[in-house]
Structure 1
Amino acid sequence: MSILFECEYEGERYAGFARPVPGQELTLHKVADGQVQAAIIAAGGAEAAVEALVRDTEAITVDGAAPLRLLPPLLPTGSNNALVSGFMRTHKSKYEDEPTNETEFVAPNWFFKGFGDWLRMPGETLTVPAKAVALIEEPEVALVYVNDDEGTPHYAGYTFGNDLCDIGLHRQNPGWNPYCKLCDTSLTPWLFLGEPPQTVTGTTVIERAGVTAWEGPFDCGADALYFTVRDMADNLLEYPAVRRPGLVNYILLGADEASFHDGFRIADGDRITIDVKSHDVTLSNPVRFGGVPGTQ
Structure 2
Amino acid sequence: MLLIQFKTAQGATRVGVLQPEKGQVQVLAGVTSTYSLAQTAIANGEGLQALAGRMVSDETWDYGELASDGRLLPPLTHPDDAHCFVTGTGLTHLGSAASRDAMHKKLAQAEQSLTDSMKMFRIGLEGGKPASGQVGAAPEWFYKGDGSIVRASGQAIEMPDFALDGGDESELVGLYVNGPDGTPHRVGFALGNEFSDHVIEQQNYLYLAHSKLRVCAVGPALRVGPLPEHVEGHTRLFDKQGSVRWEKPFVSGEANMSHTIANLEHHHFKYGLFRRAGDVHLHFFGAATLSFADGIRVQAGDRWEIESPLFGPALVNTLAVQATQTPAVRPL
**Which TM-score band applies after superposition, normalised by the shorter structure?**
0.7 to 0.9
Give, in whole Å, the separation in 2 of the partners of 1:83 and 1:209: 33
Aligned to 1:136: 167
SS class of match (2:18)? coil
Structure with the greater alpha carbon radius of gyration: 2
Give, in whole Å, the separation in 2 of the partners of 1:102 and 1:14: 40
Count of aligned residue pairs for this structure pair: 287
Structure 1 position 246 matched with structure 2 position 244:
no
**1:31 Cα shift?**
2.1
1:1-296 equivalence runs, <5 A: 2-9=1-8, 10-19=10-19, 26-33=26-33, 34-42=35-43, 43-51=45-53, 53-54=55-56, 59=57, 61-64=59-62, 67=66, 69-78=71-80, 80-93=82-95, 95-96=103-104, 98-99=125-126, 105-210=136-241, 211-291=243-323
| Cα pair 2:81 2:146 within 8 Å, conserved | no
> Please, what is the CA RMSD of the aligned residues?
2.6
TM-score computed with the length of structure 1 as normaliser: 0.86
**Structure 1 residues 255 and 63: CA distance shift in structure 2, 3 A:** closer
**Which structure shows the higher helix fraction?**
2
Unaligned runs of 5+ in 1: none
| Cα pair 1:132 1:289 within 8 Å, conserved | no
**Structure 1 residues 29 and 258: CA distance shift in structure 2, 3 A:** same
**Structure 1 residues 166 and 23: CA distance shift in structure 2, 3 A:** closer
| Cα pair 1:144 1:251 within 8 Å, conserved | yes
**Structure 1 residues 20 and 8: CA distance shift in structure 2, 3 A:** farther
Equivalent pairs: percent with the same residue? 29
**Structure 1 residues 247 and 132: CA distance shift in structure 2, 3 A:** same
Give, in whole Å, the separation in 2 of the partners of 1:144 and 1:253: 11
Give, in whole Å, the separation in 2 of the partners of 1:119 and 1:221: 23
**1:230 Cα shift?**
0.7
Unaligned runs of 5+ in 2: 105-121, 325-332
TM-score computed with the length of structure 2 as normaliser: 0.78
Please identify, of 76-85 and 146-155, the stretch whose mean Cα deviation from structure 2 is larger: 76-85
Give, in whole Å, the separation in 2 of the partners of 1:275 and 1:51: 25
| Cα pair 1:20 1:64 within 8 Å, conserved | no
